[in-house]
Amino acid sequence: MANNKLLVDERQAELGQFIVGRLLPIRNKRQVGPFTFIDHMGPSTVGNGNYMDVDQHPHIGLCTLTYLFDGAIEHRDSTGSIRVIEAGDVGLMTAGAGVTHTERTPSSMRDDRDFNVHGYQIWIALPKEKEEIAPRFDFLPSQEVPSWESGPLKFRLVAGNGFGKSSPLQGYSPMFMVDIASNEETTLNLKGQLEGEIAFVIVKGSITDQGQKVNAGQMLISKIDTECEICLAKNTQILLFGGKKLEQEHFLLWNFVSHDKARLKQAKTDWIEKKFPKVPGDNTYIPFPEFKGG
First to last CA, the chain: 34
DSSP label of 108: G
CA–CA distance, 198 with 39 (Å, rounded to integer)? 17
CA–CA distance, 63 with 94 (Å, rounded to integer)? 4
Q: What pLDDT score does 292 carry?
A: 55
* DSSP-based three-state secondary structure for 144: helix
Q: What pLDDT score does 137 carry?
A: 98
Give φ, ψ of 239 to 5 degrees. -115, 135
Burial bucket for residue 97 (CB in 10 Å: 0-12, 13-18, 19+): middle
- The total of other beta-carbon atoms located within 10 Å of residue 247's CB is 10
Length reported for the chain:
294
Q: What pLDDT score does 220 carry?
A: 87
Q: What is the pTM of this model?
A: 0.91
Per-residue pLDDT tens digits of the chain, which is 294 residues long: 444 566 666 666 655 544 556 666 666 667 899 999 888 887 888 888 888 899 999 999 999 999 999 999 999 999 999 999 999 999 999 999 999 999 999 999 998 889 899 999 999 999 999 999 999 999 999 999 999 999 999 999 999 999 999 999 999 999 999 999 999 999 999 988 999 989 899 999 999 988 889 899 888 887 655 557 899 999 999 999 999 999 999 999 999 999 999 999 999 999 999 999 999 999 999 999 986 544
Q: What pLDDT score does 34 carry?
A: 95
Question: Taking a C-beta distance cutoff of 8 angstroms, is the pair 123, 138 a contact?
Answer: no
By C-alpha distance, which of 99, 45, 33 is closest to 71?
Answer: 45
CATH number, domain 5-243, options 3.40.220.10, 2.60.120.10, 3.90.226.10, 3.90.1420.10 = 2.60.120.10
